[in-house]
Chain A
Amino acid sequence: MSAMAVKNIVKRFEGVCALDGLSLEIARGAVVGIVGPNGSGKSTLINVLSGMLQIDDGSLYIGGEMVRMRGPHRMSAYGITRTFQEVRLFEQMTVLDNVLVVLARRSVIASLFRRQEVRFDADARLALEMVGLWEKRSDLASTLSYGQRKLLEIARVLVMQDMQVYLFDEPFAGLFPAMVKTVVGVIQDLRRQRKSVVLIEHNMDLIRQLSDTVIAMDEGKLLAQGTPEEVLARQEVVGVYLGV
């Protein structure tokens, strides 16, 4: 059963094809690792899947139904959420507000008149405790260390309700080993809850450890797809990484 799929998608930037007829499927409850050299279109794929970029051609399916993309704010209604490669926090807001803000009602009127619910506070606390930031809840996000910032982003997607697909763009980059362990725990937890995870990662040990399927990309195209052992052993995958 596929949670999300794309068929023959094309995305061009000023003539350069960042995604060139790419098709892939993300199974429900699976962790899909995406590997490929820099500039192979991994982040562009995440941006397309999260609705931040409009595709030039091709189609997108969510839960088996074809979806027209109309702006990033529609995608969370389909149960899709993400983190960013370059961390994007709400810098001049507190750590707690960074998490609570995604729990507000989506409509203006409701967000004005439905006050904070106790349940929201409990959810936010749970997510922040999971990444070890509850103690820092009253600090401004801009005062956090690099690793803590990455963890706060993860807490922010965890607290979102009823998500089906989590897109993680290099969540481990620059983290201390203890923090890596935390994030590994988070991803394994999501998998146990039958959520789908798309994971961009350069560390092949983590890809092997976490992924059910691995997709190797190069120049916006699918290079190889399969179990981690299969894909990472393929000659051409090793080739593009070493630049051979």
Chain B
Amino acid sequence: MAVRRASVRGKVSFLLCLFVFLVTLTTEDGCVLGIEIWYTGSVSSVIIQLTINSVIVGALYTLIAVGFTLSYGVGKFFNLAHGVMTAIGAYAVFYLTKGLQVNVWLALILALVFVGVVGWLLERFIYAPLRAKKASNLVLLVASLGAFTALQGLLSIIFSSQIQTLSQGRAVQQVFTIFGATITHIQVVTVVVAALVVVSLVVLLRFTLFGKAVRAVSDDEEVSKIVGINTARVIGIVFFIASAVAGLAGILVGFDTAIEPTMGMALLLKGIIAAIVGGIGSVYGAVLGAFLLGFAENFGIWKISGEWKDAIAFGLLIIFLLFRPRGILHT
């Protein structure tokens, strides 16, 4: 009895905290630190625009979070190098289309394979040997942080830290208008692609032998080895897929706005937050977390400056870590 009461109290205080957090951000009180009023215009059109924006970034964060959550599931550590995959994917397309004049679709496929291979190489030559040595997950985290820093630096050296864009020829993208709110062509594509990726991942994990192996390895690597699963290969493939999906996210960002070598950190942080808020290890959780984060960020900056987005995202993370450390979907 005492236990149940305690957990109810925990839930209530958690929801209260989340509520207060969102309210302080969206009311005038939130302006204590911020100065600019971000949106002008009628309230209802603002709400529609904010909703659309939330869905778009939600879709984008989903693409990063699902890969992060899958690689956490099989590797059991926070793979921070996951973030730099977005930049690698974007720059691969940039190099292929603008440098080598390759057809966009071919470039896209080559870039995704390339990013996947980079992810696989990290797993094969850094993480797998560390796991074989029974290294703690902190060691793996630091090693992946090193990989992130080194790869990001390499990109900056090769491509310079100047901002680039992937979009072809047309200076302005096609823009759609819904109820007075605008959405670009690539943003529609982003939402559709994210939906497709999630559906295919769910099908892959649920209905194939490979998916069964992934779930077994996520449950217990040792036991999976004993029952004859080639765990090294399964983990390698998961890292390949996760990195390729992250690369896809980076490419979409590149077509919509712009790319720079340091783009990975912000995207990675959002992906991690989404994965943890949703419940790490679960694909559905990652999707849920990504959209929750998307809405919190966009409605959070309704009345304050957009620069506070990162702080808002981490505020959300810390609230979840305190009150629901295992995420929405974890029971």
**Which chain A residues lie closer than 8 Å to B2 at the CB level?**
56-57
Q: Does B157 contact A (CB under 8 A)?
A: no
Bound-state Cα–Cα, A56 to B2, Å: 7
The distance from the CB of B239 to the nearest CB of chain A, in whole angstroms, is 30
Bound-state Cα–Cα, A12 to B2, Å: 12
**Which chain B residues lie closer than 8 Å to A12 at the CB level?**
3
Bound-state Cα–Cα, A12 to B3, Å: 10
* Interface 0/1 of B1-21, CB less than 8 Å to A: 011000000000000000000
Bound-state Cα–Cα, A64 to B99, Å: 83
Bound-state Cα–Cα, A86 to B2, Å: 30
Bound-state Cα–Cα, A56 to B4, Å: 10
**Which chain B residues lie closer than 8 Å to A56 at the CB level?**
2-3
Chain A's closest residue to B2 (CB) is A56
Bound-state Cα–Cα, A56 to B3, Å: 7
**Which chain A residues lie closer than 8 Å to B3 at the CB level?**
12, 56
* Interface 0/1 of A12-53, CB less than 8 Å to B: 100000000000000000000000000000000000000000
The distance from the CB of A22 to the nearest CB of chain B, in whole angstroms, is 17
Q: Tell me the chain A residues, 98-155 only, with Cβ under 8 Å from chain B.
A: none
The distance from the CB of A8 to the nearest CB of chain B, in whole angstroms, is 14
Bound-state Cα–Cα, A218 to B256, Å: 66
Bound-state Cα–Cα, A12 to B1, Å: 11
The distance from the CB of B134 to the nearest CB of chain A, in whole angstroms, is 13
The distance from the CB of B7 to the nearest CB of chain A, in whole angstroms, is 12
Bound-state Cα–Cα, A56 to B6, Å: 11
* Interface 0/1 of A55-67, CB less than 8 Å to B: 0110000000000
Bound-state Cα–Cα, A56 to B5, Å: 12
Chain B's closest residue to A55 (CB) is B2
**Which chain B residues lie closer than 8 Å to A57 at the CB level?**
2
Bound-state Cα–Cα, A6 to B3, Å: 20
The distance from the CB of A17 to the nearest CB of chain B, in whole angstroms, is 13
The distance from the CB of B133 to the nearest CB of chain A, in whole angstroms, is 15
The distance from the CB of A218 to the nearest CB of chain B, in whole angstroms, is 24
Bound-state Cα–Cα, A40 to B61, Å: 47
Q: Tell me the chain B residues, 233-265 only, with Cβ under 8 Å from chain A.
A: none
Bound-state Cα–Cα, A57 to B3, Å: 10
Bound-state Cα–Cα, A217 to B210, Å: 45
The distance from the CB of A12 to the nearest CB of chain B, in whole angstroms, is 8
The distance from the CB of B155 to the nearest CB of chain A, in whole angstroms, is 37
The distance from the CB of A140 to the nearest CB of chain B, in whole angstroms, is 16
Bound-state Cα–Cα, A210 to B153, Å: 66
Bound-state Cα–Cα, A148 to B5, Å: 45
The distance from the CB of A120 to the nearest CB of chain B, in whole angstroms, is 31
The distance from the CB of B326 to the nearest CB of chain A, in whole angstroms, is 14
Bound-state Cα–Cα, A16 to B292, Å: 35
Bound-state Cα–Cα, A238 to B3, Å: 36
The distance from the CB of B60 to the nearest CB of chain A, in whole angstroms, is 37
The distance from the CB of A56 to the nearest CB of chain B, in whole angstroms, is 6
The distance from the CB of A130 to the nearest CB of chain B, in whole angstroms, is 33
The distance from the CB of B234 to the nearest CB of chain A, in whole angstroms, is 29
The distance from the CB of B266 to the nearest CB of chain A, in whole angstroms, is 36
The distance from the CB of B307 to the nearest CB of chain A, in whole angstroms, is 38
The distance from the CB of B124 to the nearest CB of chain A, in whole angstroms, is 29
Bound-state Cα–Cα, A69 to B188, Å: 57
Q: Tell me the chain B residues, 66-102 only, with Cβ under 8 Å from chain A.
A: none
The distance from the CB of A192 to the nearest CB of chain B, in whole angstroms, is 41
Bound-state Cα–Cα, A57 to B2, Å: 8
The distance from the CB of B135 to the nearest CB of chain A, in whole angstroms, is 14
The distance from the CB of B149 to the nearest CB of chain A, in whole angstroms, is 26
Bound-state Cα–Cα, A243 to B283, Å: 43
Chain B's closest residue to A57 (CB) is B2
The distance from the CB of A9 to the nearest CB of chain B, in whole angstroms, is 13
The distance from the CB of A20 to the nearest CB of chain B, in whole angstroms, is 15
The distance from the CB of B119 to the nearest CB of chain A, in whole angstroms, is 32
The distance from the CB of B87 to the nearest CB of chain A, in whole angstroms, is 37
Bound-state Cα–Cα, A150 to B2, Å: 37
Q: Tell me the chain A residues, 177-192 only, with Cβ under 8 Å from chain B.
A: none
Bound-state Cα–Cα, A57 to B1, Å: 9
The distance from the CB of A214 to the nearest CB of chain B, in whole angstroms, is 32
The distance from the CB of B31 to the nearest CB of chain A, in whole angstroms, is 40
Q: Tell me the chain B residues, 1-59 only, with Cβ under 8 Å from chain A.
A: 2-3
Bound-state Cα–Cα, A57 to B5, Å: 13
Binding site for A on B (CB under 8 A): 2-3
* CB-based closest 4 A-B pairs: A56-B3, A56-B2, A57-B2, A12-B3
Binding site for B on A (CB under 8 A): 12, 56-57
Provide 4 A-B residue pairs closer than 8 Å at the C-beta atoms, listed in order of the A residue. Answer: A12-B3, A56-B2, A56-B3, A57-B2
